[in-house]
Amino acid sequence: MNIAVIGYGNRGKCISDILLKLNGDIRLVAINDTNLDSVQKALKERSIEARLYTDVDEMLDKEQLDGVIIGTRCSLHTQMAIKVLKKRIPLVLEKPVSTSMEDLLALKQVYESSGTEVAVPFSLRLSNLGRAAKKIMDSGRLGAIEHVQVNNNVSYGSVYFQGWYRDENETGGLFLQKATHDFDMINYMLGLQPTQLCAMKAKQIFKGNKPANLKCENCEEQYSCPESATLHRLRGEPAHHDMCCFAVDTGNEDSGSAIIEYESGMHASYSQNFYVRKKAGIRTFRFIGYEGTLEFDYFTSQIKVFMHHEDHTETHDIGSSGDDHGGGDVMLCENFIEMMQGGKSKTPLDAGLLSVLMCLKAREASITRTYQEIKW
């Protein structure tokens, strides 16, 4: 099986590396990227020989491919996916699958006419934790789920303000970057269609009057600012990027919330925050029925089941399987191999399209202060 990568950045490398380890019959034969020097260095480190292209159309025309991984920056996801879909090659398409309504509708039209299998890396549902939680939910022990509460407090949120993610033209805002996963997880767990939502967002912390394009290393506060990449590196802590997140050119909201109504009449509340740090980070889901409550947190990899009418609480500690997304990346790659052999996607593009539609509606609702119907 011959695969190609469009955008050989962190995710392109990660997914292709796992695929090569999982199956000795898979070969990475071609890569399309704008930074070929970086690609060549990465391939040398991995002892991989692949043909390099700066033109994606040329690559798709010349290569005989069984699968494609798209790991470009977000604003290019739709454009690249449409090119691959027209060739009817199974693909992995990173989320968010689109960043605008125009792109979303174009992608939906081409996808529905192509009949091609697409896997979206929805690691929350694919992870060991997500699959275990779904099994408990489907057991029926909780009764019909009538309320959902989700909180996503991102302890590594500086990544969205200190590097290329700070450009809202690339990200489309942080509903599309984070809530796309969480909305999909809610939809997946419930098995219901969302009908409308309202939302708010705010930018309270990551704003300021520092000059545009300022880097931490050139700032007089590099040894005192809590977000300083210089300071973090001196402490031996992760420093994702170097740009000042209190500069005039820092984009993205730093908190947001949405309330989503579903076809049964029940609703879910969702909130995300990007300036909590350390142990304040959580990604907690609560699904509440009359008989019981299911709670799980991706930071602790722990599931709790609270029964409402008996003195009984269960706790499950779930292993992560060693990858960065709690086993989700390995499950994605195993499924992609099945897809290249004629199987079906476990995280189909239909789910990615709906998730982005909800995120775009949440962004619109937060700007216009209105309720938004979730429909095509």
Instruction: Check whether 330 has a pLDDT greater than 90.
Output: yes
Residue 240's pLDDT is 73
pLDDT in the model for residue 323: 75
140 & 257 share domain: yes
pLDDT in tens, 350-363: 999 999 999 999 99
- pLDDT confidence of residue 237: 86
CATH number at 54 reads 3.40.50.720
What's the gap between Cα 351 and its chain centre?
12
Does residue 320 have a pLDDT over 80? Answer: no
Q: What is the mean pLDDT of residues 228-246?
A: 90
pLDDT band at 324 (very low <50, low <70, confident <90, very high): confident
Average pLDDT over residues 303-331: 90
**182-193 tens-digit pLDDT:** 999 999 999 999
Q: Clarify whether residues 153 and 130 are in a common domain.
A: yes
Average pLDDT over residues 340-352: 98
Q: What is the mean pLDDT of residues 52-60?
A: 98
144, 230: one domain: yes
Same domain, 159 and 21: no
Residue 183 and residue 267 share a domain = yes
Nearest to 124 by CA among 186, 191, 77: 186
- If asked whether residues 36 and 134 sit together in one domain, one would say no
Q: What is the rounded CA–CA span in Å between residue 267 and residue 270?
A: 10
Please give the model's pTM, rounded to 2 decimal places.
0.96
The answer on 256 and 130 residing in a single domain is: yes
| Judgement on whether residues 197 and 301 belong to the same structural domain of the protein | yes
Residue 196's CATH number: 3.30.360.10
13-36: pLDDT as tens digits? 999 999 999 999 999 999 999 999
Average pLDDT, the chain: 96
Do 129 and 181 reside in the same domain of the chain? Answer: yes
Range of the domain at 46: 2-123+328-348
The verdict on 193 and 119 lying in the same domain is no
Which residues, at least 6 apart from 270, have a Cβ–Cβ distance to it below 8 Å? 150, 151, 152, 179, 182, 183, 186, 257, 258, 259, 260
Per-residue confidence (pLDDT) for residue 47, from 0 to 100: 96
Is 92 a residue whose pLDDT tops 90?
Answer: yes
68 and 208 both lie in a single domain: no
Give yes or no: residues 151 and 7 share one domain. no
Cβ atoms < 10 Å from Cβ of 115? 8
